């Protein structure tokens, strides 16, 4: 059982991060040798987490649908499907990474009795210095370089939690880890789009890069179309970096932090193959993708081009109409829409059961298409105040798929009305 499962019986699970909110500025050296994740028990910003069995797909076993909508996450694990603890020699201990993780995990949020307006801002106030972020992105680049463009995740790493778009919702991400378990036990795969749109792209990217550096065999990060210059210049992350360090004494430091993140992003892997049968990427298929091996050959580092295999992997969508069989133009003006026959032929040719991708917001957080061969998941709850649920996909050792929901609070008109004050204008697409 995960030591971080909600209400877990492990003694560590019941330990709140000790006086964490008050210790967020403590010196890195003090905590450098500790493992902050072991003590982490995040606040809960989501109303409900429950699971639901996926519809029939070839990857789903005959396990019965779980009847209890209030089921807690830890109940999902049967004894033979228990996550394995990561061996000590696979954990990379770097004092800066540990110190940043400690601060990211323990920084306070407004208390429950704080004014509603303050709580709705949903910002976690974390002290991150520009020089630390510059060093972190160097360490992340070194770590990501060791991975191939296509990550192969073996059965021993299952069960695996797969997360779709996060988009700077650091508070939700932190709460999610508190509920689902730390990478000491639990394996995670993220499908990209860590920055832009939301309030805390810096914290989100820093947190995930820290985890990838520390747990390279447990935390896998793919690149989304927002991990690139064109999107981040338009949708928030560039401005966030510049504004964050605008009072810094040395001019241009925000731009340097931004460029450093971009450089690390160029090394993010582009797809993951889970136990040889589930293919994961941010957007989807490409006319230039014939075999799985094509994914191994994508050169890095690179910006995302406006056409071609890499572009399509990160930008394409399944065609909205399942009766459409072939390729079609995307309304985004970039990438393609892939049809049902395209998907079926790709899956057959490569012995793939399921394609899991993110890239599109869905009201209930997930959607199967193309005869059950394409699954879209979206993890950021209440994305730009759209009241959507977030979903995490859990793939068991036998490839059974469960959905874990991050429910948003609904039907609270006054709260919704106030929350609208914090929504940007640019909220409609992606």
Q: In terms of Cα–Cα distance, which of 128, 145, 167, 165 is closest to 257? A: 128
- Considering the complex, state which of residue 194 and residue 245 has its C-beta at the smaller distance from Mn ion: 194
Residues 341, 343: Cα–Cα separation, whole Å: 5
Footprint on this chain of Mn ion (rule: CB under 5 A): 193, 224-225, 359
- Considering the complex, state which of residue 86 and residue 314 has its C-beta at the smaller distance from Mn ion: 314
- Considering the complex, state which of residue 282 and residue 373 has its C-beta at the smaller distance from Mn ion: 282
Q: Which of 167, 226, 282, 373 is catalytic?
A: 226
Q: How far is the CB of 164 from Mn ion (least distance, A)?
A: 9
Residues 352, 270: Cα–Cα separation, whole Å: 17
Q: How far is the CB of 162 from Mn ion (least distance, A)?
A: 15
Handedness of CA 270, 272, 278, 282 (dihedral sign): negative
Residues 368, 149: Cα–Cα separation, whole Å: 26
* Six token digits for residue 228: 């690139």
* Cβ proximity of 17 and 39 under 8 Å: yes
- Considering the complex, state which of residue 153 and residue 430 has its C-beta at the smaller distance from Mn ion: 430
Handedness of CA 139, 310, 400, 386 (dihedral sign): positive
Q: In terms of Cα–Cα distance, which of 424, 428, 358 is closest to 391? A: 358
* H helix or E strand, kind and range, residue 173: helix 170-180
Q: Which residues of 411-420 are buried (b: 16+ CB within 10 A; e: fewer)?
A: eeeeebeebe
* Cβ proximity of 295 and 270 under 8 Å: yes
- Considering the complex, state which of residue 201 and residue 224 has its C-beta at the smaller distance from Mn ion: 224
- Considering the complex, state which of residue 105 and residue 195 has its C-beta at the smaller distance from Mn ion: 195
Q: How far is the CB of 430 from Mn ion (least distance, A)?
A: 5
- Is 226 marked active-site? yes
Taking CB positions, which residue lies at the least distance from Mn ion?
Answer: 359
Max CA-CA distance within the chain?
A: 61
* Cβ proximity of 341 and 369 under 8 Å: no
Say which residues have a Cβ less than 8 Å from residue 131's Cβ, sequence separation at least 6.
none
Helix or strand or coil: residue 273?
strand
Residues 402, 393: Cα–Cα separation, whole Å: 6
Cis peptide before 301 (omega within 30 of 0): yes
Q: How far is the CB of 380 from Mn ion (least distance, A)?
A: 11
Q: How far is CA 337 from the centre of its chain?
A: 23
Q: How far is the CB of 359 from Mn ion (least distance, A)?
A: 4
- Considering the complex, state which of residue 178 and residue 283 has its C-beta at the smaller distance from Mn ion: 283
Q: How far is the CB of 194 from Mn ion (least distance, A)?
A: 10
Q: How far is the CB of 88 from Mn ion (least distance, A)?
A: 36
Question: What residues are labeled active site?
Answer: 226
């Amino acid at each position: 059982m995960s030591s971080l499962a909600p209400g877990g019986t492990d003694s560590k699970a019941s330990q709140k991060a000790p006086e964490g909110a008050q210790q967020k500025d403590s010196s890195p050296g003090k905590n450098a040798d500790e493992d902050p994740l072991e003590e982490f028990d995040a606040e809960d910003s989501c109303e409900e987490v429950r699971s639901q069995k996926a519809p029939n797909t070839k990857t789903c076993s005959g396990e019965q649908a779980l009847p209890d909508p209030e089921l807690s996450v830890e109940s999902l694990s049967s004894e033979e499907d228990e996550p394995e603890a990561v061996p000590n020699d696979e954990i990379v201990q770097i004092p800066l990474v540990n110190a940043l993780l400690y601060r990211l995990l323990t920084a306070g949020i407004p208390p429950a009795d704080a004014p509603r307006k303050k709580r709705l801002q949903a910002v976690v106030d974390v002290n991150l210095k520009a020089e630390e972020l510059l060093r972190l992105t160097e360490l992340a680049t070194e770590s990501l370089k060791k991975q191939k463009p296509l990550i192969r995740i073996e059965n021993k790493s299952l069960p695996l939690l797969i997360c779709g778009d996060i988009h700077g919702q650091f508070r939700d991400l932190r709460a999610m880890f508190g509920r689902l378990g730390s990478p000491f036990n639990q394996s995670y795969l993220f499908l990209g789009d860590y920055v832009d749109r939301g309030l805390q792209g810096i914290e989100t990217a820093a947190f995930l890069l820290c985890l990838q550096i520390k747990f390279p065999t447990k935390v896998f990060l793919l690149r989304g179309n927002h991990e690139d210059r064109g999107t981040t210049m338009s949708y928030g992350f560039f401005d966030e970096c510049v504004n964050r360090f605008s009072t810094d004494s040395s001019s241009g430091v925000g731009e340097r932090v931004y460029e450093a993140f971009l450089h690390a992003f160029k090394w993010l892997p582009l797809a993951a193959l889970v136990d040889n049968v589930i293919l994961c990427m941010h957007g989807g298929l490409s006319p230039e993708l014939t075999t799985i091996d094509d994914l191994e050959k994508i050169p890095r580092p690179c910006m995302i081009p406006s056409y071609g295999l890499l572009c399509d992997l990160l930008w394409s969508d399944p065609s909205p109409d399942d009766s459409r069989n072939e390729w079609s133009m995307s309304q985004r003006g970039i990438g393609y829409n892939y049809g049902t026959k395209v998907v079926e032929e790709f899956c057959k040719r490569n012995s793939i059961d399921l394609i899991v991708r993110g890239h599109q917001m869905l009201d209930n957080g997930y959607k199967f298409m193309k005869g059950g061969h394409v699954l879209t998941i979206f993890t950021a709850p209440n994305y730009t105040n759209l009241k959507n649920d977030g979903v995490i996909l859990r793939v068991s050792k036998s490839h059974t798929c469960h959905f874990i929901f991050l429910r948003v609070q609904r039907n609270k008109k006054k709260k919704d009305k106030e929350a609208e004050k914090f929504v940007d204008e640019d909220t409609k697409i992606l």
